[in-house]
Amino acid sequence: MTEIKKQRTDFQAARPTNVGIKGIEVYIPSQYVSEAELEKYDGVSQGKYTIGLGQTNMSFVNDREDIYSIEYPVVDGHFSLTCYVKALDQVYKAYSKKAIARGLVQEPISDEACNVLKHFDYNVFHVPTCKLVTKSYGRLLYNDFRGNPSLYPDVDQSLATLDYEKSLVDKSVEKLFVNVAKPHHATRVAPSLNVPTNTGNMYTGSVYASLASLLSYVDQEQLQGKRIGMFSYGSGLAASLFSLVVRGDISDIVSKLDIDNKLQSRECLTPQQYEAAIELREKAHLQKSFKPTGSIDHLRAGTYYLTEIDDKFRRSYSTKE
């Protein structure tokens, strides 16, 4: 019995190391609409989508590409954005405590701040909009500033003790730390946004699409041994912050992702065509005994597409030849 217990203890102690991602697939619809053209079509001010949201293009589908969970989300504007920022703050504190306790942090700022610029080489986020990601990276640096104001001696030191709730909505703090973070953002965050800025919000999948973007647009050798912070968020709400370290050859992952080709080979459609596709989706919403009518001409070979929903909501699919 003693020997069995010893074997079991030895087995439990020998946890596997370097367990991680060996492959990623990101599906990108083969049609998109220009956000600049959409601004004109919607009659909004120039830059509302392209600057205000940080979006360049938006992928979309008709009733053939069978997505379901993203239909008609209900969003409570600024309250939803505040929840996102609060969640980021809390998981950064929780992550820092764990990472420090495990000896992963070389130069912690405090018990609740692991030091963003020293600990992470890159940061990837859930992406409602690319502009929110830019603000959120600055928010992480603000968290470090609150832990040790001397990190940024040129910043008004009284901002470190600003009431927490006020700090969530204070535009001067937000703008200030977006500027503080700007040079770091260009190399540590921006490559992860090449996909989101060209596809729009992928909801749950956005953080992993952003990871795929980072792996695709940063040189493989430059990524070796680097730590990537991953912020995952769901507006229910639930959130987590974890990190990955790149080890070994990732060329096969990047090659199979084929991100740049998927983006460049898409067809740009007009806002009117985008609107027509959305109308098809509206008609398909929650329907049974339904046959989609959208074209499959734009689908890439090998793409699964919806052919029918029967009277019991069972779905049938075919594959584009």
Which residues does the annotation place in the binding site for CoA? Answer: 80, 131, 135
Question: Tokens standing for 195?
Answer: 């996909």
Say whether 78 is catalytic: no
Choice among 78, 119, 126, 298 that is catalytic: 126
CB of 101 closer than 8 Å to CB of 118: no
How many Å from the N-terminal Cα to the C-terminal Cα in the chain?
Answer: 61
What is the spatial distance between Cα 82 and Cα 78, in angstroms, rounded to a whole number? 6
Residue 278: which of 27, 70, 2, 26 has the closest Cα? Answer: 70
What does the angle CA 302 – CA 305 – CA 309 come to, to the nearest 5 degrees?
155
* Pick from 173, 171, 147, 169: nearest CA to 159: 173
306 φ, ψ (degrees, to nearest 5): -75, 135
How many Cβ atoms are within 10 Å of 98's Cβ, its own excluded?
A: 14
Please state the residue numbers annotated as binding site: 80, 131, 135
Q: Hey, what are 137's tokens?
A: 């990276």
Q: Classify strands 227-234 and 122-125 as parallel, antiparallel or unpaired.
A: parallel
Active site residues: 126
